[in-house]
A and B are shown apart, each in its own frame.
Chain A
Amino acid sequence: DVKVTQSSRYLVKRTGEKVFLECVQDMDHENMFWYRQDPGLGLRLIYFSYDVKMKEKGDIPEGYSVSREKKERFSLILESASTNQTSMYLCASSLVAVYTEAFFGQGTRLTVV
């Protein structure tokens, strides 16, 4: 069965902390995505990775960075967390063949206080 796993369901961090959100997929997918979801704004793409060590900025990359050292793992890094980064974060993966589905993890609800 297809699986995308995010390391935490809920996180509470302090302003200024460096935060790591981890995502692991077991499907040998090349493409991985990080989105944030906010009421009234929907899902917005933060970063996208075509393959290992490849990344591309999405629509709202400011304040975030990513790491993809291994094919199965895609990490989202908040360099210095701020309260406006309180959100639901969703990771997804898909095969590089564009005629395939994207699969999502269960989400991480991050609160920055």
Chain B
Amino acid sequence: KQEVTQIPAALSVPEGENLVLNCSFTDSAIYNLQWFRQDPGKGLTSLLLIQSSQREQTSGRLNASLDKSSGRSTLYIAASQPGDSATYLCAVRQSSNYKLTFGKGTLLTVNP
């Protein structure tokens, strides 16, 4: 059974700092990995999708990498801002079916 782990569970940084969020998964037979953002009490907003054949994707200040063979992904946020404060979730889509399996998220706080 696929298991997805996110480290750290919570992270607090000063504004302007660059930071890295980590995601690991136990079964490398995946189609893709997706990073989401969730604000308190809200739904999930898709940030980046990386296909299993890709190594990284970029969107603005966000860069996500994928090392499928080692079961790891990172989300790099450059020049963090207070508006980046949210919970960040990663999810993998299984090759054996269409299911998405989620990590428990990293709660990010960016202090002004």
- Binary per-residue interface labels of chain A (73-113) against chain B in the complex, 1 for a CB within 8 Å, 0 otherwise: 00000000000000010101010101111111111010000
Interface pair A90/B43, CB less than 8 Å apart: yes
Bound: A33/B102 CA distance, A:
13
Within residues 82 to 111 of chain B, which ones have a CB less than 8 A from any CB in chain A?
89, 91, 93, 95, 97-105
**Closest chain A residue, CB of each to CB of B104:** A42
The verdict on A104 contacting B43 (CB below 8 Å), with A42-B102, A42-B103, A92-B100 known, is: yes
Query: Separation in Å of the B89 CB from the closest CB of chain A?
Result: 7
Bound: A103/B44 CA distance, A:
8
Q: Give B residues with C-beta under 8 Å from A.
A: 31-32, 34, 36, 41-46, 49, 51, 89, 91, 93, 95, 97-105
Interface pair B34/A101, CB less than 8 Å apart: yes
List residues of chain B with CB within 8 A of the CB of A96. Answer: 98
Apart from A41-B104, A42-B102, A104-B43, what 9 extra A-B contacts exist at CB < 8 Å?
A42-B104, A43-B89, A45-B100, A88-B41, A92-B44, A96-B98, A100-B49, A106-B43, A109-B41
Bound: A109/B100 CA distance, A:
21
